[in-house]
Amino acid sequence: MTFTRPASGRAQGIPRNFQKAAGVSQEPIPARLNLFLGAVAMSGCLALLWLASHTQSWWVLLASSVLFSYLNNTNFSLFHEAEHKILHPDERVNEWFGRLLGAFFPTSLGFHRAGHLNHHAHNRSEFETFDYIRPGENLPLKYVQWYCVLTGVYWTLPPLASLAYMIWPGFVRIGSLRHTAEAKQTATATYAKAYDRAPETVIRLEVGLSLLLQMAFFQLLDLNWVGWACCYGAFALNWASLQYADHAFSECDPLQGAWNLRVNPIIRAFFLNYHYHKAHHEYPKVPWIHLGKYIDPQEFRPWFWDIYWLMWCGPQPLPADGRSPLVPRA
């Protein structure tokens, strides 16, 4: 059964609840465009890493790092498509191109997919409301976690956790990562359990592939740590800030708990509509290029910068009704 999109922005032909629960979509995947954009973004990132490592000008280093932070987010947005298996209709191409994109993060496709699908399952639940303070929570831990996201420190978690998994997969079964109040508050409890059914051998090989490719980049392009660190530091800050701005202070609901943020069209192009995050959570199998059609024109849509600067004010008390304090009440 196919479905069409009326002027109101709602899909028809499939019950709305079923669409959201199952992520059903018959929208075509822009396979050739995805491969082209990925090739351009990855090539551009390598060129910028080389430039940042060889320039004698701090201004060129800064400009290279900033541009890298956006181009590598293009890579990540395509990697995100691969996680949902909508990068390419051929599963082998989807997986192998996704692994290549993952090396630019760097992380493993399988490792990141398990964690990301866990995020979809627990979005805005008691495990994933880092922006709201719940009764009895550890406040110092709450604030440390929050500002680690805002300052980009959060980016280090996937590479380090995937590396730890390659060395010792059993670390995800440590009791303190699953059964403590701190594990629940930080969402570690659900993320650790997400790897119980993950493809262990595949993930370990993927992490090894990412490591080998990063080493090859250093060797073949004669990179240095200053250029690499500046580029990835800028990327970490850019990437991490958006990862929670898409959700911050939204409704406590797994499907509605995200924003379709307003942002400069050029920035949105770099991120491949990643700012249309509520639409993505409602319809996770819809490719990025079609997400704009899945936005209700009547819904409240804040600007990215409004959410971002509000985030710097710190976590807020949990609303009694779980609704967003930012959405105007009728």
Q: Say if residue 241's pLDDT is above 70.
A: yes
* Residue 12 neighbours by CB under 8 Å, 6+ apart: 3, 4, 5, 6
pTM of the model: 0.92
Q: Among the listed ranges 30-39, 123-132, 270-279, which one has the minimum average pLDDT value? A: 123-132
Domains of the chain: which residue ranges?
A: 27-124+134-313
176 versus 214: the higher-pLDDT residue is 214
pLDDT of residue 14: 30
Residue 75: Cβ within 10 Å count: 24
Residues 142, 250: Cα–Cα separation, whole Å: 18
What six digits make up the tokens of 23?
């992520």
CB 76 within 8 A of CB 239: yes
- For the cut 70, the answer to whether the pLDDT of residue 7 exceeds it is no
Q: What percent of the chain has pLDDT over 90?
A: 86
Q: What is the pLDDT of residues 133-160, one digit of tens each?
A: 999 999 999 999 999 999 999 999 999 9
Q: Which residue in this structure is represented by tokens 């380090």?
A: 160
Beta bridge partners of 303: 262
Evaluate if residue 19 carries a pLDDT over 60.
no
Residues 6+ apart with CB under 8 A from 46: 217, 221
**pLDDT bracket for residue 330 (50, 70, 90):** low
